Amino acid sequence: MFQISRRQHRTMVSNVTWSTLALSAALVLSSPAHAKTLTAVMHSDLRIIDPVFTGAYITRDHGYMVYDTLLATDSNFKIQPQMADWKVSEDKLTYVFTLRDGLKWHDGSPVTAEDCVASLKRWSKNETMGQTLMDFTATIEATDDRTITLKLKEPYGLVLESIGKPSSIVPFMMPKRLAETPPGQQVKEQVGSGPFKFVQAEFQPGVKAVYEKNTDYLPRKEPPNWTSGGKVAKVDRVEWITMPDAQTAVNALQSGDIDFIESLPFDLVTMLAANKDLKVETLDKLGFQIVGRMNFFYPPFDNIKVRRAAFLALNQKDVLDALVGNSEYYQICGAVFGCDTPLATDVGSESLVKGNGMAEAKKLLAESGYDGTPVVIMAPGDVLVLKAQPIVAAQLLRRAGFKIDVQATDWQTVVSRRASQKPPKEGGWNMFFTNFIIADVVNPVVNILVNGRGKNGGWFGWPEDAKLEALKDKFVRASSPAEQKKIAADIQTAVYDQVIYIPLGQWRGVGAWRKSLSGVLDGPATPIFWNIDKAE
């Protein structure tokens, strides 16, 4: 029989008491009794609330609550009107967007085209697709209160896709006075035109964030579909409660103290699925792409043969089994731009998806002149969905003949350290792993990993590849989806040939909510709280 000591018992009681007190503190200031309130535990605590200032997914989720967009993306990756409809000139150089009637900011003032132009300009300074769009733009101006006119220098095939992108730094619209805030500073107020209003007075970082129904919001008539269509708020309030401990959140969901958990630990999915009062489901059907990134500046990965050897040594199944375990929630996928997307192809991915590259990896590494330089891999231990990747990769690379130095850290250290261009011996790094939602890798412009600009505008790792940049330029000038798809396959070939980065499969998170909720929608990125109703 298993027994515990008195000290262990006191520790367990203390942990339970702390969890209970934390939950009580979060809920004690809950909404008035008459308000229909939905309480949710999100994947992260909300701290930064300017959705153009950071690409953090929790801040993006906050943005969709408060703000709206000119255009939106549906489940077929088609761009749909949201705040505005549009017309395109025959020469494809002029786009005219017309705001729909009745749009108001949360402070009661009307939404104007001038507000939206200022919002697009601020967004474009902080986001890759926006920057590229503005490179092709001659002018963008408000030609009257409801009309935005964008004129291009030359045809550009991703104008609508840029303005309607669903993640990560979304082109949310805000009043001009806020949109004129420099992109390196955060806006001072949260004034949008979306279906919910942010309750600043009740915002307690680390405890809760509160949103109230915007009774002035006029939703579109079309049914909701991903981030497009009618955004009908059916509850009076939404409260995001911070619960860092997953078991505390699960207990609160089962007891009815909260209504919704965005992201469950995979080892608890089966248990919760058996609870007749709960619904357990994947809402983002595309999920996340696991990525491995090398540092091109320093040995050994400044050598293409060494990079190729590492590429051949890794395989998706070993990583996915360690991270997720249950194959129901992962997908072996050789597509750089994500599987089940318009640009999906498996060209160049055989060793990753079949796991048959180890023998060739050993041979190529021996031929490369690799001298045993240690590969410094940053390994965060504090984020459940980032722990397994570096450990599995280290094991596979050792089998291929690499000397590996796994350096344990937390994720915030990785986030800051990966920006360092110092040599690994001086606090730099050789390799790290992360996850991107598929919406953030779905084409060569939005996918910041597919970048060959080196230290002049490239993402961490800084590969420099003129051929890759030329292919991307060709892609954005393509005039048809068929032509874009062909060029995207060429880009994927270049990515794999030079090992620009290593996609290591797709996985889907699992959410849970009480069956008293109805109308829960799936989406490409964010939990969608409009359309959800709650039975009293």
Distance CA 43, CA 526 (A): 11
Distance CA 149, CA 99 (A): 11
**Residues 303 and 369 sit within 8 Å (Cβ to Cβ):** yes
**Residues 408 and 379 sit within 8 Å (Cβ to Cβ):** yes
The two tokens of residue 77 are: 């990756």
Distance CA 398, CA 434 (A): 20
Query: Residue 179: which of 123, 104, 113, 140 has the closest Cα?
Result: 123
**Residues 343 and 335 sit within 8 Å (Cβ to Cβ):** yes
Residue 314 has pLDDT above 50, yes or no: yes
b/e 40-54 (16+ beta carbons within 10 angstroms → b): bbbebebeebbbbbb
Mean pLDDT for the stretch of residues 435-457 = 92
Distance CA 189, CA 498 (A): 45
- Assign 32 a pLDDT band (cuts: 50, 70, 90): low
Q: Is 425 exposed, middle or buried (0-12, 13-18, 19+ CB in 10 A)?
A: exposed
Helices (H), 82-183: 113-124, 128-136, 159-163, 176-179
- Indicate if the alpha-carbon torsion angle 492, 496, 501, 504 is positive or negative: positive
Residue 472 has pLDDT above 80, yes or no: yes
Percent of the chain with pLDDT over 70: 94
pLDDT confidence of residue 3: 36
Residue 40 has pLDDT above 60, yes or no: yes
- Assign 33 a pLDDT band (cuts: 50, 70, 90): low
**Residues 365 and 372 sit within 8 Å (Cβ to Cβ):** no
The pTM score is: 0.87
Using alpha carbons only, what angle is made at residue 505 by residues 504 and 507, rounded to the nearest 5 degrees? 130
- Assign 168 a pLDDT band (cuts: 50, 70, 90): confident
Query: Residue 514: which of 284, 250, 286, 326 has the closest Cα?
Result: 250
- Assign 55 a pLDDT band (cuts: 50, 70, 90): confident
**Residues 296 and 289 sit within 8 Å (Cβ to Cβ):** no
Residue 205 has pLDDT above 60, yes or no: yes
pLDDT confidence of residue 282: 92
Residue 18 has pLDDT above 50, yes or no: no
Query: Residue 251: which of 27, 48, 481 has the closest Cα?
Result: 27
**Which single residue is written with the structure tokens 């029989």?**
1
Phi and psi, residue 472, nearest 5° = -65, -40
Please give the residue that has the higher pLDDT: either 418 or 17: 418
Domains within the chain, CATH numbers bracketed: 33-49+189-280+511-534 (3.40.190.10), 69-179 (3.90.76.10), 288-507 (3.10.105.10)
Distance CA 243, CA 225 (A): 30
pLDDT confidence of residue 429: 98
pLDDT confidence of residue 23: 52
Q: Read off the pLDDT of residues 112-157 as tens digits, 9 standing for 90 and up.
A: 999 999 999 999 998 889 999 999 999 999 999 999 999 999 999 8
Q: Read off the pLDDT of residues 105-114 as tens digits, 9 standing for 90 and up.
A: 999 999 999 9
Q: Read off the pLDDT of residues 57-75 as tens digits, 9 standing for 90 and up.
A: 899 999 999 999 999 999 9
Angle between helices 388-400 and 358-367 (to 10 degrees): 60
Residue 11, Cβ neighbours under 10 Å: how many?
12
pLDDT confidence of residue 31: 52
